[in-house]
Amino acid sequence: MSAETILIDLDVLANSVRGALEIEPVVGGFSLHRLPSWTRSQHADSDIERMASHTSGVSLRLVTAATVLGLDITFARTAIRGQRPAQAASVMCEVDGQIVGHVEADEGTVIVTTDDKMSTTLPGGPSLVLLNLGGDGTREREITVWLPQAASVTIHGGAADAPVRATAPTDAVRWAHYGSAISHGWVADNAIGPWPVEASRQLGWDLTNLSFAGNAMLDPFVARVIAERPADLITIKVGLDIVTDDAMTRRTFIPALHNFLDLIRDGQPDTPIALITAFACPIVEHATGPMHEIMPELWAASTERGSLTLSDTRELVAEVAAARQDDMLDVVDGLSLFGPGDASHLTDNVHPDQAGHNLIARRFVGQSSDAAATLGNLVGRLAARARSLS
């Protein structure tokens, strides 16, 4: 950057963060987490902590007339030994609803994990993320910097060719979403690739993405986090991880889901909640977990008797919802968002490709905008209310 470069105060960058629930001061900057630190003592292992440090749906919201923005970031990316290399860290910049810059960084720390959830850390240094914002250098605009969906970040500082400040708090619809790897966007193409991120962009909603690859297990600490954070809409997508890990039976799933909802209702008694049943995944529709990888990036169901199939979980979600008699709770058929006819998008038999994510986002947005649609029972009512207030 030129000699006229203006350094951005770390406090400005910290105040601009959206979608992260903890900003952790570290030497030389701050790290971002999608779960607060108090939950860590309740984690079963380090896997969910690592997934919660991935910045899926997390962004920096800034106001500036700058034409160039530079950020000094150390990324921590995850590789699975013998199966999946570390994905490049994707950072995208949005101005007036249009993506104007995209940087992919291969530098930084790499955390190499194994099937037994052991890990080795290979330390790495920071990256200079240089984003060209366009503009004429005189007119201030709102800038959204989307952080990586599948990497952790530590922000050390920033600079631009004009002053930068954090945006004011938004009055947009506050949407909290809970889900697994698909909602996390673990294998999405880029920072805006996860379907909840793309849907929130199209709807103009303020997303908190509490989706953790491999870890949508109805953990009570996540329910308490959701309860504590004011929201206008809560969506809960559950089923796939529980089946693929062979984690629950009918006996344990039903009370676990009731408990998850009870904890949320303790803090948010009147917030609309939509329970989204599992998306289509043919290999476990009528077979059980635990799943195993039959070759790199290709998964198969168990050949032995397990606990629940994916179709079982859909029935149990509906059963729990019916038993609660909650007027602000409804069930959304996940197959209406991603059904059996969309299975060609499951490149590894489990996770949708980017076209699949785009399809889910488009259908979610379409149903959210139509108060007569199934999803519209709750989300459409909310969208209509939000439009009336705008």
Report the pLDDT value the prediction gives residue 371, as an integer from 0 to 100: 42
Contacts for 35-39: CB closer than 8 Å, 24+ residues apart: 35/210, 35/221, 35/222, 35/225, 36/225, 39/221, 39/222, 39/225
Q: Report the alpha-carbon distance of residue 265 to residue 274 in Å, rounded.
A: 13
Look at the pTM and tell me if it is higher than 0.85.
yes
The string of pLDDT tens digits covering residues 30-83 is: 999 999 999 999 998 889 999 999 999 999 999 999 999 999 999 999 887 766
Q: Report the alpha-carbon distance of residue 134 to residue 136 in Å, rounded.
A: 7
Closest C-alpha among 238, 194, 182 to residue 59: 194
Report the pLDDT value the prediction gives residue 384, as an integer from 0 to 100: 56
Point out the residues of the chain with pLDDT beneath 50: 3, 371-374, 376, 386-387, 389-390
Sign of CA dihedral 335, 339, 345, 347: positive
Q: Report the alpha-carbon distance of residue 207 to residue 231 in Å, rounded.
A: 10
Read off the amino acid at residue 136: D
The string of pLDDT tens digits covering residues 127-160 is: 999 999 999 999 999 999 999 999 999 999 999 9
Q: Which two tokens stand for residue 378?
A: 């709750």
Report the pLDDT value the prediction gives residue 292, as an integer from 0 to 100: 56
Closest C-alpha among 191, 189, 222 to residue 57: 191
Write out the chain in H/E/C secondary structure: CCCCCEEECHHHHHHCEECCCEEEEECCEEEEECCCHHHHHHCCCHHHHHHHHECCCCEEEEEECCCEEEEEEEEEEEEECCCECCCCEEEEEEECCEEEEEEEECCCEEEEECCCCCEEEECCCCEEEEEECCCCCCCCEEEEEECCCCEEEEEEEEEECCCEEECCCCCCCEEEEEECHHHHCCCCCCCCCCHHHHHHHHHCCEEEEEECCCCCCCCHHHHHHHHHCCCCEEEEECCHHHHHCCCCCHHHHHHHHHHHHHHHHHHCCCCCEEEECCCCCHHHCCCCCCCEEEECCEEECCCCCCCCCHHHHHHHHHHHHHHHCCCCEEEECHHHCCCHHHHHHECCCCCECHHHHHHHHHHHHHHHCCCCCCHHHCHHHHHHHHHHHC
Q: Report the alpha-carbon distance of residue 336 to residue 366 in Å, rounded.
A: 11
Kindly state which CATH superfamily the domain 174-389 is placed in: SGNH hydrolase (3.40.50.1110)
Report the pLDDT value the prediction gives residue 367, as an integer from 0 to 100: 83
Report the pLDDT value the prediction gives residue 3, as an integer from 0 to 100: 45
Q: Where are the domains of the chain?
A: 6-166, 174-389
Report the pLDDT value the prediction gives residue 372, as an integer from 0 to 100: 40
Longest Cα–Cα distance of the chain, Å, equals 67
Read off the amino acid at residue 382: L
6-166 folds as Jelly Rolls (2.60.120)
Chain centre to alpha carbon of residue 215: 12
Reported residue count of the chain is: 390
State how far the alpha carbon of 63 is from the alpha carbons of 18, 44, 95, 140, in Å: 14, 40, 10, 6
Report the pLDDT value the prediction gives residue 276, as an integer from 0 to 100: 96
Sign of CA dihedral 78, 101, 185, 73: positive
Q: Report the alpha-carbon distance of residue 42 to residue 336 in Å, rounded.
A: 35
Q: Are 86 and 300 in contact (CB under 8 A)?
A: no
Q: Report the alpha-carbon distance of residue 351 to residue 357 in Å, rounded.
A: 9
Report the pLDDT value the prediction gives residue 381, as an integer from 0 to 100: 58
286: number of Cβ within 10 Å: 11
- Mention every residue, 6+ apart, whose C-beta is less than 8 A from residue 77: 86, 87, 88, 89, 108, 109, 110, 111, 150, 151, 152
Report the pLDDT value the prediction gives residue 82, as an integer from 0 to 100: 63
- Mention every residue, 6+ apart, whose C-beta is less than 8 A from residue 319: 254
